């Protein structure tokens, strides 16, 4: 199975500043059949299910603010929050969704 | 709009079995794999297994093999996950996930004597 490694484990960012989270997969999640990266990013707040932010590594889910962006290809990916807001305090996870599903360990973002 | 509605919270004794349902709507049930994922308190996510509703093909994670049973009922567009021989470490929220991206609201299972 593909192992997903996220860094850092936690991150303290001032309001309005940029937050950057990295995710590395043990093998490429870019599939030649459709030239898509099977990589998603989620936000999870306490007591809630994860909220899909980004899929196909860089496609923003409907309703997600444009301060969230995803980049990368193959084995190295990044989630960027361009200007951190108070409501962005949460744990963020990367996930590869080529069968089966595997997840990064999470990054806790604080103010 | 894809919707997944899971059954309610459960409290079970050690050694018991729990069965959770996931009713889906808003898409063709047979079009996507249905996964089940475990999240223990304060922990990350662990994939448990999947079912292909089109042909019933199943795959289980090695860690849960022998204790988990995943099924899909195409007559009711509902998937099920049954976990047996429960122990305290199985206390967790369990999620169904459609196509790897659409998540149910989660079902809390508490295992306690």
Q: Provide the β-strand partners of residue B83.
A: B18, B68
When CB atoms are compared, the residue of B44, B101, B104 closest to A40 is B101
Task: State residue B25's pLDDT score.
Answer: 93
Quick check: A100 and B50 CB within 8 A? yes
- Name the phi and psi angles at A14, rounded to 5: -75, 150
Quick check: B50 and A99 CB within 8 A? yes
Task: State residue B1's pLDDT score.
Answer: 86
Q: Give residue-wise pLDDT tens across range A84-105.
A: 999 999 999 999 998 789 999 9
Task: State residue A71's pLDDT score.
Answer: 97
From the CA of A101, how many Å to the nearest CA of chain B? 6
With a cut of 70, which residues of chain B have pLDDT below it? none
Q: Give residue-wise pLDDT tens across range A43-98.
A: 999 999 999 999 999 999 999 999 999 999 999 999 999 999 999 999 999 999 98
> Which is it for the CA torsion A102, A72, A48, A89, positive or negative?
positive
Neighbouring residues of B45: CB distance < 8 A, sequence distance ≥ 6: A50, A93, A95, A101, A103, B37, B38, B39, B95
From the CA of B92, how many Å to the nearest CA of chain A? 12
When CB atoms are compared, the residue of A52, A98, A103 closest to B44 is A103
Portion 63-92 of A in contact with B at CB < 8 A:
none
From the CA of B20, how many Å to the nearest CA of chain A? 16
Quick check: B37 and A104 CB within 8 A? no
Q: How confident is the model at residue A17 (pLDDT cuts 50, 70, 90)?
A: very high
In angstroms, the CA B106 to CA B95 distance is 5
Task: State residue A98's pLDDT score.
Answer: 84
What residues of chain B have any CB closer than 8 angstroms to a CB in chain A?
33, 35, 37, 44-47, 49-50, 59, 61, 95, 97, 99-106
Contacts of B102 in chain A (CB under 8 A): 52
Q: What is the average pLDDT value for chain A, to the nearest integer?
A: 96
Percent of chain A with pLDDT over 90: 95
From the CA of B95, how many Å to the nearest CA of chain A? 8
Read off the tokens for A32: 């030649």
Task: State residue B69's pLDDT score.
Answer: 98
Task: State residue B53's pLDDT score.
Answer: 93
């Amino acid at each position: 199975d593909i192992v997903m490694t996220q860094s850092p484990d936690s991150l303290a960012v001032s309001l309005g500043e940029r937050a950057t989270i990295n995710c590395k997969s043990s093998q490429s999640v870019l599939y030649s059949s459709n030239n898509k990266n099977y990589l998603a990013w989620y936000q999870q707040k306490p007591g809630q299910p994860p909220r899909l932010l980004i899929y196909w590594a860089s496609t923003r889910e409907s309703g997600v603010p444009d301060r969230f962006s995803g980049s990368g290809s193959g084995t190295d990916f990044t989630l960027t929050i361009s200007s951190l807001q108070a409501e962005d305090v949460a744990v963020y996870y990367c996930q590869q969704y080529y069968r089966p599903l595997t997840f990064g360990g999470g990054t806790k973002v604080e103010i | 709009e894809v919707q997944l509605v899971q059954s309610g919270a459960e409290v079970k004794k050690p050694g018991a079995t729990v069965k959770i349902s996931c009713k889906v709507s808003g898409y063709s049930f047979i079009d996507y794999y249905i996964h089940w994922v475990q999240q223990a308190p304060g922990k990350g996510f662990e994939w448990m297994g999947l079912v292909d509703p089109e042909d019933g093909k199943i795959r289980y994670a090695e860690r849960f093999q022998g204790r988990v049973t995943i099924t899909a009922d195409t007559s009711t567009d509902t998937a099920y996950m049954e976990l047996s021989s429960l122990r305290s470490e199985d206390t967790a929220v369990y999620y169904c996930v459609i196509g790897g991206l659409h998540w149910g609201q989660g079902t809390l299972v508490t295992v306690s004597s």
